[in-house]
Chains A and B, each alone.
Chain A
């Protein structure tokens, strides 16, 4: 690990206080992203992927809150910044792309105005300069006759085109990191691959790092440098993409790799393993995966494993533990 760490998340815990007790949506998650690196994040629905992303960009919706842990961007702590300081980081340092391109754009504003507004919020440009930049951005994301399209409203674009506009918006102020939360799930299968390729190409050109949340292992295999596999709010395994795919250590990851759909095919929900992920209010003692784990043994039901080195990766599984059990 020689490249400097762009993002460091340490022991992040996200909680939702509810009437029936506190739900822990993200529990003790640590991960790092280097400049220009693509970190894939996979896991079943409810695993805490979106909450991790929202916590990083400071947009957890109340009552959700960061209960403990820290988030550092280029060494600077950002999880405890006041709202107005965090606002300046959003869009400028960390961008975001959400799942649904159809609803991410304000229907009442021209796409050009939304771009110009974003650009001028972060960069000291005149309206005319911002407009030129907006046209350039639209061209970059592959929108034909961009100079003209800039005056169009979101409803005048198709779903794929809208997602391109969303990407242009996320890149408008050249952030160093983009959190892309299932950026293609809502799109037609035939254009999913195009959008992912576009995102990958642009981020490579601009040196932008990406945290790419997806259900599609095929996309991860082709796009990501490293992968984090999440389960029940925790990281089950994290490591270089080839290691995690070819030599998975955690039994959950092994199960996931069972059926990798080819890129471009409709992403299957990751439910090839018997049973389903526990609800947040009923996470089992010990390893959260133990009721479904084919390799479960006594220690798993008592003691909770933290991620520990396993080959080039880290896996939260007692199978890879070097030291003997304390029980």
Chain B
């Protein structure tokens, strides 16, 4: 177990190094940042001074080394656009994105798993068929369209929910949360549904097909032959065996949710890192873009680690590597 964790941590570090290199490389390929910062009438010596202070003319390995060392300390330089420290800009907006993503993921799981279980248990019922058809539409509609549709119905026509922003937030230390105010909770409903809908259909379809698969297995047949109740067979024996793929996909999708938050945040003017990223793209604000990339990479790596650990919790066969038949 320890060896496994160490191995995974080393792998994670290597992945992060690769991501860091790509983010770092962005600085070299996208235009000359100094040209964006300085005005047309800035004196030449001031430009040279600026280039020096930004360390732009050093050799590549030195710059990469500096980039990594700084990144590990949370120092990502200054935004070309606002000249604020990028680390702080991201940290300020990260809670908004994480809360949105988390609520979207929970929505997708809490609704997707029971729907998938039902559709797997009663594949021929009209409700299952309806869910499958509707989910197909859900999968093929682009996120921004769903967002706009929801805004149109619930904000414009019915006027029940706000169409943009985060509502009121409360500061808890460095974390600003919108989950503790009424307006914040109202504000998160539409964006999280928009963001989670695709994952919901994905999880539902996955759970359904896994259930259908598992229900055909010998151990389910044997569980029935032992006279266990339907509840025990379906929710004890069958559902638990569908969990490993569900955990994998949920983990990967959580990363995808955070990444795809860009679109939802744009549609709903949600003040998260995704919106920040888009604004940065417009300004070719490389430090912000590259930091965003590092951050997304980091999120994926962390989630993968957690998913690997969860396998151990769920599946005893992995826990007992090396211990085989008969031996203790």
Interface residues of A (CB under 8 A from B): 57, 59, 83, 87-92, 95-96, 98, 100, 103-110, 117-118, 121-122, 148, 153, 155-159, 161, 166, 169-170, 172-173
Q: Which residues of A sit under 8 angstroms from B232, Cβ to Cβ?
A: 117, 121
- The reply to whether the CB of B63 lies closer than 8 angstroms to some CB of chain A is no
A-binding segment of B5-13, B48-56, B111-119, B319-327: B319-327
Q: Which of B35-43, B75-83, B217-225, B274-282 interfaces with chain A? A: B217-225
Q: A104-B218, A106-B237 are in contact. Are A157 and B229 (CB under 8 A)?
A: no
B226 interface residue, CB < 8 Å from A? Answer: yes
Encode B206-222 as 1/0 by CB contact (under 8 A) with A: 00000000000111011
Smallest CB separation, B241 vs chain A (Å): 6
Question: Taking chain B's interface residues, is the majority helix, strand, or loop, or is none over half, making it mixed?
Answer: helix
Pick the contact of B317: A104, A153, A166, A169 (CB < 8 A).
A153
Asked whether, in the complex, the Cβ of B228 is within 8 Å of the Cβ of A91, the reply is yes
Smallest Cβ distance from A196 to chain B, in angstroms? 19
Within the assembled complex, what's the spacing in Å between the Cα atoms of A241 and B30? 87
Contact for B316 among A90, A100, A153, A157, CB less than 8 A: A153
Q: How far is the CA of A105 from the CA of B324 in the complex (A)?
A: 16
Tell me the chain B residues, 270-328 only, with Cβ under 8 Å from chain A: 314-317, 320, 323-328
Residue of A nearest to B327 (CB): A156
Chain A min CB distance to B279 (Å): 47
Q: Hey, which bits of chain B sit against chain A, CB under 8 A?
A: 217-219, 221-230, 232, 236-237, 240-241, 314-317, 320, 323-328
Q: How far is the CB of A130 from chain B (nearest CB, A)?
A: 13
Contact flag A106-B227 (CB < 8 Å), given A153-B316, A155-B317: no
Q: For residue A39, give the distance in angstroms from its CB to the closest CB of chain B.
A: 18
Q: How far is the CB of A149 from chain B (nearest CB, A)?
A: 9
For B315, what are the chain A residues with a Cβ–Cβ distance below 8 Å? Answer: 107-108
Asked if residues A96 and B316 are in contact (CB atoms below 8 Å), the reply is no
Q: List 24 A-B contacts (CB under 8 A).
A: A57-B225, A59-B224, A87-B224, A87-B229, A91-B225, A92-B227, A95-B225, A103-B218, A104-B221, A104-B222, A106-B223, A107-B219, A107-B316, A107-B317, A108-B316, A110-B316, A121-B226, A121-B227, A155-B316, A155-B320, A161-B325, A166-B222, A170-B225, A172-B226
